[in-house]
Structure 1
Amino acid sequence: MHIQLLIPGLLWPTATLLGPASGLTLDGLAGLLGRGSRSVLAFEPYDRQLARLFGLEGGPLPLAALRRSGEPDAPPPAEGDHWLCADPVNLSFAREHLLLQSFDDSQLDAEEAAELVAALNEVFTDLGQFEACTPTRWYLRLAQASKATLYPLDDVVGRPVKHFLPEGEDARLWQRTMNEAQIVLHNHPRSRAREASGLRAVNSIWLWGAGALEHAPQAPAALVQATDPLSVGLARNCGLPVAMPDVSAALRQDTLVVLDGLRLPAQALDLDAWRTGLEALERDWFAPLATALKRGRIDSLHITAPGDRATLLVANQRSERWKFWRKPYAFDDLLKSLAPAPLPLPEATPPPPPHEAR
């Protein structure tokens, strides 16, 4: 039996004075880290790593169409349709940079999302049709295919927007569209009401995910366990069953498990939520899987943890259980080893000689 865990957000993105996982009891994870083989690869976007597990790589990936096909209550996209993700975001200035922040479902409701999408549809009738599958996952069904290079939202959150503007043949169209959408959303009564209440306004959309699906995804396992719509969409497009993440079910057959509960807390630098989620992963996944490995119930367990600077790979094999000299490796120690080096302090200017002092 083979289990693959994909855990975006497991690597805390910044250095802290105290280790981000300090004080947490993570014996199961420590055992998997210490007794398995570990490697750290260069940064690669999470969505590309997920797509590769389904046999898709190279060129623009149709992430919008794939994510749209994984939405729970939406009809599947028609063959030949072209889609963009058009997710609601907040833009704000921090010093000289315009930074982007996303929303989670607890921060927007379906009614305000519907009103904001209706306002966009009144203005952009020539581009296609906007729709909101959830309060925070919006789409644009295009009247014609896009020829722009558009950056995924996860790559842009918390970063200066100027580095991720649309590129390519019709880049100006989409730059203009996002600028005009900012005006529409900024002036909307819903946005004004949010600002008056001290909440972050939905004052822009982020367009991404263009591309055509040239090859059908390939099944990475007998079962996919996931809740995020991109993973669900990939599984549906290769005819795989999809289930909620559950360790007992994963131990019955070859399974790909996508656990993305740490992704948003890591992006938002919400350390309390991240630590709470990490404790839940230890209880529900790491500890049970470490026990199953010791008992020989798993042939192999692979953990892939895409981060914003690097990707951690951990591989545990049943055949290596007897290597008793491999000791647990504390997760907080691992995070410290991956943290960026502190910036060097400027050298102090030596005081002038006594005869030059004034």
Structure 2
Amino acid sequence: MQIQLLIPGLLWPTATLLGPASGLALDGLAALLGRGRRQVHGFDPYDRQLARLFGLEAGTMPTALLRRLGEPCASPPAPGSHWLCADPVNLSFAREHLLLQTFPEGELDAAEAGELVAALNETFTDIGRFEVCTPTRWYLRLDKPARTTLYPLDDVVGRPVKHFLPEGEEARSWQRTMNEAQIVLHNHARSRAREEAGLRAVNSVWLWGAGDAGRTPAIRAALVQTDDPLCVGLARAAGVPAGAPDISTALRQDTLVVLDTLRKPAQQLDLDAWRRGLAALERDWFAPLAEAIRQGRMGSLRLLAPSDRGTLDLELRSADRWKFWRKPYAFEALLQSVAPAPMALPDAPPPPPDSDR
């Protein structure tokens, strides 16, 4: 029995005066790090690693369609339909640069999301229809495929938007659509009310996730556990059962577990939320997994943790429990051994889409 763990955001992305995990009791994680064979590979984004686990290429898979398939909405997307993610974002100026930020769960409510999307649908009747699945995850069902290159939202968060505008055959048309959406949302009464209340306005949407639905996802695991709708959609498309993360169920069969509770806190540099999430992972996953390995109740574990600093790759087998000379390795020591991601200059262009982003 094998468990694969994918945990984006586990490696805190920046250097801090005090260690980001200092003071946390992470004995289970330290035991796993010490007993296993660990490496830190180069930068390899979460979406690319997730796609690879299902036998797909991140640059071509229909991310929006698959994420929509994994949503708890009333009806699944129709076969052959075309979708974009149209996630609500806030654009703000930092010096002369227009930067993009997302909204944490709970910062928007369903009522305001519904009103904002209704305004978009009144304006964009000629391209398709917007819909809300959750207050922070919106979609655009298209009347026809989008023939353009659109950058994933994770690539753009906290960076100058000008480097990530649509490219390709229909680039100008989609740039114009995004600009018009900014005007609609900026002028909406809900956005003005948020600003008057000292809250960040929903003043744009980020369109992304187009792709080719030609290849069917496939995975060897018997079960997928995740709360990430993209991963749920991949599992459903592959015909594999998907459920919420649960350690006792995962220990019964070969399971892929995607735990993405640290991803947004790491992106948004919300250290308090990241530390709370890390403590919860220690309690619910790392400590029980370390005990399962110690008792010989698990054949093997592979943990992948992609981040801007690189990807932690940890492998641990049941036989490693007998290697008493391998001592626990503190997570704080691991963070100190991995160089922080280099600070990108605001005017530095992003790497081309087909390079290692």
TM-score under structure 1 normalisation? Answer: 0.93
Deviation at 1:338, TM superposition (A): 1.1
Unaligned runs of 5+ in 2: 344-357
Rounded to whole Å, the distance in 1 between the matches of 2:278 and 2:17 is 19
Amino acid at match of 2:283: R
Give the structure 2 partner of residue 302 of structure 1: 302
Task: Tell me how far 1:228 sits from its aligned partner.
Answer: 1.3
Measured after TM superposition, the shift of residue 278 of structure 1 is: 0.4
Distance 2:321 2:301 in 1: 12
Helix, strand or coil for the counterpart of 2:84? strand
How far 1:321 sits from its partner (Å)? 2.2
For 1:44, the equivalent position in structure 2 comes to 44
Counterpart of 1:149 in 2: which secondary structure? coil
The residue number in structure 1 matching 2:352 is none
Please give the residue correspondences for 1:339-354 in structure 2 after superposition, counting only pairs within 5 Å: 339-340=339-340
Moved over 4 A (4+): none
Q: Note the C-alpha offset of 1:167.
A: 1.2
Q: How far does residue 165 in structure 1 lie from its aligned partner after superposition?
A: 1.2
Identical columns (%):
74
Aligned to 2:156: 156
Q: 1:103-132 CA distances to partner (integer Å, 9 max, x unpaired)?
A: 123011111111111111111111111101
Counterpart check, 1:285 vs 2:260 = no
Mapped partners of 1:82, 1:192: distance in 2 = 32
Distance 1:10 1:207 in 2: 27
Answering whether residue 317 of structure 2 is matched by residue 314 of structure 1, we say no
CA distance in structure 1 between the partners assigned to 2:228 and 2:190 by the alignment: 27
Alignment of 1:118-129 (within 5 A): 118-129=118-129
CA shift for structure 1 position 310: 1.0
* Contact 2:88 2:138 (8 Å CA) reproduced: yes
After superposition, residues 175-254 of structure 1 pair within 5 angstroms as 175-254=175-254
**Aligned to 2:329, what secondary structure does the other structure show?**
coil
2:309–2:339: 8 Å Cα contact kept in structure 1?
no
Q: Equivalent residue of 1:190, what SS?
A: helix
For residues 131-153 of structure 1, the C-alpha deviation after alignment (integer angstroms, 9 at most, x for no partner) is: 01111110001111011111111
- TM-score, L = length of structure 2: 0.94
**CA offsets 1:249-271 (integer angstroms, 9 cap, x no match):** 11111110111111111111111
Counterpart contact for 2:11–2:309, Cα < 8 Å: no
Task: Look at both structures and tell me which one has the larger radius of gyration over its CA atoms.
Answer: 1
> How many residues align structurally?
343
1:82 and 1:212 in contact (8 A); partners too: no
In structure 1, the gaps of 5 or more residues are 344-358
Name 1:324's counterpart in structure 2.
324
SS in 2 for 1:289: helix
Q: In 2, are the aligned partners of 1:220 and 1:256 still within 8 Å (CA)?
A: no
Amino acid at match of 1:298: M
> 1:132 maps to which residue?
132
Q: Which residue of 1 aligns with 2:55?
A: 55
Q: C-alpha separation between the residues in 1 aligned to 2:342 and 2:57?
A: 35
Alpha-carbon distance in structure 2 between the residues aligned to 1:10 and 1:326: 22
